[in-house]
Structure formats: C-alpha cells, structure tokens
Amino acid sequence: FWGCLLASILVGGTVGLVVFFFIWQGSVYFAQRFVAIFIGILLVTIIRIGVFCCGRSRFFRAFYRTKPAAANIFFLAMEWANFALSAGFVFVRMIKLLLVAILSVGRIDSRFLAKGVGEVGPVELDAFPTIHLRDILSHEAHRHPYISVLGTMYLMKLRYKTDFGTTAGSCWRLIFVYALMPWLQKYRILDDLTKTRKTIQSNESSADEDFRASGFVKRFTTKASYTDDKDEIIFQMEKEIRDLRAALEMASVSAVKKSGDE
C-alpha cells in the first residue's frame, strides 16, 4: 500500500511540476527556450540515428565489418557526433532513470535495475548498459579463432609454398584433432555420409533411367501403371528366362538323342 501510494505521489508531483513550469509566467520564457533547444537536439539525434543505421547496413553484417577501413572512419565520425551530444545523452539518461525509478519504487517483486526493467516490448529505454557488450562483440568478430587459424594457414602457404601443408603435417593435424577435438570429426563424417547417400541416389536414378531406355525393355509391351511397370517388366523377363532354359534343355536332350542314334 505505502509503496503504491508513494509511487502515485511521485508521479503526480513530477507531472504537476512540469505543467507548472510551462504555465507559470516567471518560467514560461525558459520553458519555451528549453522546448526549442530540445526540438533542435531531437532533430540532430534523429539525423544521427538515420546516418548510423545506413552505415551499419552498408559496412556491417551482424557484428562483422565487411569493410573494416571504411567502417572505422565512419564510426570515428560518429564518435565526434557523440562527443558533441554527450551532455544531451547524459541529461536524457538521467531523465530516463528518474522515470524508471518513479514507476518502480512501489514494486516489491523485482529490483530497481533488474533485467527487463525499462523495456517496453522491443523498445529498450536505456541501451547504454549493452553498448559496451556490443562493442566487444563487434571487435571480437574479427578475432574468431577459426578465422585467425584459416588466415594463418593461407599466409603460411603463400610464404612457404610446397614446404607447408605436407602429408606429414596433415597426419599430425589429424592426430591432434582426434586427440583433443574429436567432436569436429562428427561433422566431417555426417558430411561424408550425406555425400555418399546423394551419390548412391543419383547412381540409382541414372541406372533406372538407363534400364528404362534400354532396347531390352522396349521389347516388352505392358499396360501397367507407372508404379507397377518395373515389376511387370521384371516378371516378363523372368518368364522369358524360364522359356529360354526350357528351350536349352530340349535342345540338349535332342542333341543327346542324335548322338546316341549315330
């Protein structure tokens, strides 16, 4: 009860103080100047945000800089703008923290600076705590261990040519991977199995097409459907093979009789 009452008094007092500042004749002039300065700073900030979004879409892919040199120059210019607007950012952040404190003073279920406080849907009222983390991720994206190792391998290959990447080195690398990072082999094995399945399927499909286009199959006429034509062809082939075997047996018997008569 007392927390909700205190929060209501603080909210009402803050709103009343702002309204009084804009209505009282002694402070109207300063209020108008404040509004004019605020509108100017707001326009400059909106322009800066637009330029910043354009720069991120042009020079960045997620946290990775596609054009490092141009991105560094661009963000150096942004730092100049931040230096000019630093006092305004401090003032705006102070107002944000005061508003969050006024609205959260009556809450007993969470701390004042708990995770999620100051977030309205996808909008984050105070993004400064995560700016440092974003900057670290942006720089660490260019120091990824796999990218560093791959770049080192390319440079070593250019430097030492045939002396680098020999069979002995490959064997030692495989031993190292099997001993310390065996989980990396899982992806290679799965990739090999996928390629093998695709190869087998392509071979089976090509063999099936060759079988259908062969002259031996064209000898048989069938009225079966598309799903049953292969089974029907096999059945007719087996029947012809049995007929050929019977003809061979009869020929052998007749040959034996002729030899006996002679």
Residue-wise pLDDT tens digits, 69-127: 888 888 888 887 777 777 777 888 888 777 777 777 666 666 666 676 667 676 777 77
pTM above 0.75, yes or no: no
Q: Which candidate, 103, 131, 106, places its Cα nearest to that of 117?
A: 103
Tens digit of pLDDT for each residue in 150-166? 888 888 888 888 888 77
How would residue 167 be classed by pLDDT, with cut points 50, 70 and 90? confident
What pLDDT was estimated at residue 243?
A: 77
* Domain spans in the chain, listed from the N-terminal domain onward: 2-139, 144-180, 183-213, 219-250
**Arithmetic mean of pLDDT over the chain:** 73
